[in-house]
A and B are shown apart, each in its own frame.
Chain A
Amino acid sequence: MGTLFFKELSLSMRTARFFVALSILTLAFLVSGIVGSASYHSLREEYARRHATEEQRLLDRMGGLNRVAFYHQQLLLPPAGYSYIRDLSDTRIPDLIAANVVRHRDMTRVRRGNSFIPSDQPFSWHFLLAVVGGFVAILLSYDAIAGERRDGTLTLICSNSVARWKLITAKFLALTAVNTVLILLGIVLAMTILHFGLVPVISADALITIAAFLLAAVLYMAFFSALGLLVSAATRLPSLALTVLLFIWAALALIAPSASRIAAGASVQLQTPAERDRIVRQELNRIMSEGDRTRPEVDGSTVVNYERIPFSPIEQHVANYSLDIHEAERRFQNEYDLQLFRQAQFGLALARLSPVSMLDETVAALTDTGIARLRRFLASAERYRAEMGAAVRSLDARDPSSPHVYFADIFTTIWISQLPVDDASQIPRYAFTERDLAERLAAAAGPAGALVLITLVVYVLAVVIFIRVDVRHR
């Protein structure tokens, strides 16, 4: 078994294919290193700039508590630390929530870059691995068995009283070793470039993350090697094996996510904007008519004068149920966000059938760039709003002339204290907590396990088919 393994290894290292694969991966990781370090810095700079602008805007409003409280602050999702491993900057995935103490708006997206250039796949390691890695693994394995059969060497080896499962295992392990060497070389090259591009890749956190990525990469390529052996054992011609493999790869990479999108869209229904509008309006009308019903009787004009403080009984009454209105709005908003998440998560769960999506999930968990990050973003924005509300309320309580009414209308921002905020640190600032390494590794373990499982299944199938195959040279 050991001899077989080393024979296979040294054989495959000397083929033209190996050098082609080597040059492909070297080129790809070289490019990814350059692109990755550039985008790493530009993403961070842009975030820092926006963050500073937002801080300045908040400081500018410290002249009045009401102006701080009802200003729609832009809460920004910071770029993930490992953007060179997995990059989502070119998608429509939201990274901005505008919120004040009583309401928040739809999640949206910071616009960046040049809108005249259609967005494209980012050249991150994950993209390279999913596309080029799978491609290379197929390229190295497609004629492992079909080629030997064509050349007639398979008959010779099998007559050598070597168990067939040992033969195919040796081939599989040799391929995996070659894949590991190739991807390791690529990663080291990219890391060197990133290091000189002043991206921190030498910290313990980064090294462990990269090592885990390497492991995921080897697993992913092992799947395609096993698939290559399977198809190679099942077909007579190497060229046919290659064609079949390349198209299976394309189907796994493209059809699985598309099909899951369709299925998710069809099975988890979203409210349309009009429906949403109607439901929200209905509820608000209910609250308001409830308010009208209990409205106090006042003589004379019913015109509300928002400038008069203290309020008339009517105004006081409107103010009293204003919080109900905001509460209802927020409830609908949260419900809609949940629907969005449910739909996307349903699609992601379906897509897990494809190993390409399994890899995607593993790397997303490892770099914390998946849907979980977005969920935490939404939850932390909600928490922040509560914190901010508490801080504003405690400051507001100190102003005896304030009516203490939280109603975010353009004319009614004077319904709480207008005193300046003396100490800017009294107002809490939004901060997103990144996941630490242990959490990320734990999250990645699940999908990585699924990848191991499916690789084993394909490998066992390959062994079974190879044992039953007719090795005679024709």
Chain B
Amino acid sequence: MTGILVRKTFASHLTTLRFLVGAAVTSLLFVAVAVVQLSDYDARLQSAGEFEARQQDFLDGITAWSMVRTVLVMPPSETAFMAKGITSSEPNLMYISAGRPASLLEMQYYNASNPLLDFLPDADVTQVAALLISLLAIILTYDLISGARERGMLRMLMATGMGRNSILLGLALGSAATLLLTVVLSIGCVLALLALARSVPILRILPQLSMLTGEILIYGFVFIAVGLLCSCLSSRSNISLLISLLIWLVLVIVLPAMSRQVVTKLDPLPSTESLEVTERGLDQQFQEELVSFFRSDHPQDGYYGWNTGNIFDLSLANVHYVVRSPYDSFIDFRRELRGRFEPLRVELVDRIQSQHIEFENRMLNQADLVELVGSVSPAAVLKKLCTIAAGTDRATLRRFLSYGRRLRQSYIDFQRSKDYRSLDWTTDQHRNREKLNLAGMPPTLRQRWDCWDALAHSLPGAAVLIVQLAVLLVACAVVFSRYDVR
């Protein structure tokens, strides 16, 4: 019996204009946003490739082991069209050298594509799905009970001897099948687009795409339950439509925007000002060390006002001090500084970096809290899940940061393995053209997307959606069991 009802519901949905309009618009929008994001990806890929080539050139051209430094850029995600995630506003570039902390606060931003195009709002597949799939689910289901009652169909259905729960199940499954068809159709359109565009190999991203499809489906099912519940709540289909639209608006638009605002208000990040003050203090300390060194060892101060921007060959860049130098020439001055102050400088930068890491952890906690508060809304959960599927969640940023830190450490280790303190700094011994040994580092940041890892990370979010679905279905059953079918 239920099977017949499922088939009947499915078939009647398929012939309605609302399904046809909904499915057409959803597919069209999926394709439209995917085209925009893919062209953005192409631009980013090109810029990132150029940066990488420059970095490689730089490393290849190193003539002195003391000059190791590089620029690391975040590779764009080929699946960012599914969910932009952190790539929508990320910092994406990091300078790596011994003299600079490798941390989020030090990361910078480069324009991989025209940033001014952001005056035109752009969306990704997830956003369209969050908006339209839920809307479609509600529009398909809002009158399944109340509308059937209005037309007198509900009594006829009851007269067939079906239990109320099986009627509900039949209607839900029939609508779910319709939604499944819509989602598969829309994703199919995106696949066709990918096949045409060729910038992203389809086979490689199939697991991500299927994960995305599954997540969108569960999300859609939650809203089928919402629509059914609203349909049971009223005896008139107009009223149930209004209630369900109100709920939709709150769940899809108001709550996701709220969670971030509420959390950043209640649990604000400390200002970076305190960090800057500490950094300035540490810098001051370092400068005093420098000055006292010159005072004690070289009482005959010559007055050379040096902006020592790049004085350290050990890539201890970004040191801007004016030091009174007793040396005859700038070169001698640098030689002297290099050997004596490298350990001090590295230690200083290490301390700053660990402060930054603390701050990063603080940011991560805040992000966790935003997610926790946001899990009230299925749309926020969907966005989180889809960024995991697309590899644009914050784990990606964390991976990038830890890669940068390891790279910096390996540079320092490499330089220290040269035992620079015993070198005769008056010669050019450090210019020995030795190749940098980066054993143990992955050759590139581009990692394969790990399906199992992503699945494991998605579990809590998926569980939240399924619990929401179950609660709504139970509520439906309870309300419908008291529904007046006359």
Contacts of B260 in A (CB 8 A): 117, 120
Contacts of A17 in B (CB 8 A): 238, 242
Is the Cβ of B17 less than 8 Å from the Cβ of A49?
no
Write the chain A residue with the least CB distance to B242: A20
Stretch of B88-96, B160-168, B179-187 lying at the A interface: B88-96
Stretch of B119-127, B169-177, B201-209, B406-414 lying at the A interface: B119-127
> A371 at the A/B interface (Cβ < 8 Å)?
yes
Stretch of A108-116, A155-163, A183-191, A215-223 lying at the B interface: A108-116
Q: Which of B39, B50, B121, B257 contacts A273, CB < 8 Å?
A: B50
Is the Cβ of A116 less than 8 Å from the Cβ of B85?
no
Is the Cβ of B17 less than 8 Å from the Cβ of A243?
yes
Write the chain A residue with the least CB distance to B273: A49
Write the chain B residue with the least CB distance to A127: B257
Stretch of A6-14, A166-174, A249-257, A282-290 lying at the B interface: A249-257
Q: Which of A28, A117, A307 contacts B330, CB < 8 Å?
A: A307
Specify which of A92, A113, A139, A264 lies most central, judged by the most chain B CB atoms within 10 Å of its CB. Answer: A92
Specify which of B85, B114, B242, B392 lies most central, judged by the most chain A CB atoms within 10 Å of its CB. Answer: B114
Contacts of A213 in B (CB 8 A): none
Is the Cβ of A114 less than 8 Å from the Cβ of B264?
yes
Interface positions of B from 223 to 246, Cβ below 8 Å from A: 237-239, 241-243, 245-246
Stretch of B60-68, B364-372, B442-450 lying at the A interface: B364-372
Contacts of B454 in A (CB 8 A): none
Is the Cβ of A240 less than 8 Å from the Cβ of B17?
yes
Per the CB 8 Å criterion, the residue count for chain A at the interface is 86
Contacts of A123 in B (CB 8 A): 257-258, 261
Q: Which of B123, B249, B363 contacts A114, CB < 8 Å?
A: B363
> B143 at the A/B interface (Cβ < 8 Å)?
yes
Is the Cβ of B249 less than 8 Å from the Cβ of A106?
no
Cα distance, A347 to B339, chains bound together (Å): 56
Chain A contact residues, majority secondary structure: helix
The number of chain B residues touching the other chain, given as a range, is 35 or more
Write the chain A residue with the least CB distance to B371: A117
A43-78 CB contact bits vs B (8 Å, 1 = yes)?
000000100010000000001100100000000000
> B25 at the A/B interface (Cβ < 8 Å)?
yes
Is the Cβ of A274 less than 8 Å from the Cβ of B50?
yes
Is the Cβ of B242 less than 8 Å from the Cβ of A347?
no
Q: Which of A108, A272, A370 contacts B46, CB < 8 Å?
A: A272
> B474 at the A/B interface (Cβ < 8 Å)?
no
> B256 at the A/B interface (Cβ < 8 Å)?
yes
A261-301 CB contact bits vs B (8 Å, 1 = yes)?
11011100010111000000000000000000000000000
Write the chain B residue with the least CB distance to A66: B307
Write the chain B residue with the least CB distance to A60: B320
Contacts of B258 in A (CB 8 A): 31, 35, 123
Is the Cβ of B47 less than 8 Å from the Cβ of A272?
yes
Specify which of A39, A114, A410 lies most central, judged by the most chain B CB atoms within 10 Å of its CB. Answer: A114
Known A38-B261, A258-B32; contact A92-B118, beta-carbon cutoff 8 A: yes
Taking the closest CB of chain B, its distance from the CB of A364, in whole angstroms, is 8
Taking the closest CB of chain B, its distance from the CB of A375, in whole angstroms, is 10
Stretch of B131-139, B283-291, B415-423, B477-485 lying at the A interface: B131-139
23 residue pairs from A and B, CB less than 8 Å apart: A17-B242, A27-B254, A28-B249, A31-B257, A35-B257, A92-B118, A93-B118, A116-B364, A116-B366, A117-B366, A122-B257, A123-B261, A242-B241, A247-B25, A250-B135, A251-B25, A262-B35, A265-B43, A265-B117, A273-B47, A273-B50, A347-B120, A374-B116
Please provide the 6 A-B residue pairs with the shortest distance between their CB atoms, ordered closest to farther.
Answer: A344-B116, A243-B18, A116-B367, A119-B89, A257-B120, A247-B25
Give the interface of B toward A (CB within 8 A).
16-18, 21-22, 25, 28-29, 32-33, 35-36, 39, 43, 46-47, 50, 84-86, 88-91, 104, 107-111, 114-123, 128, 131-132, 135, 139, 143, 237-239, 241-243, 245-246, 249-250, 253-254, 256-258, 260-261, 264-265, 269, 271, 273, 276, 305, 307, 309-310, 322, 329-330, 363-364, 366-367, 370, 383, 387, 392, 394, 397
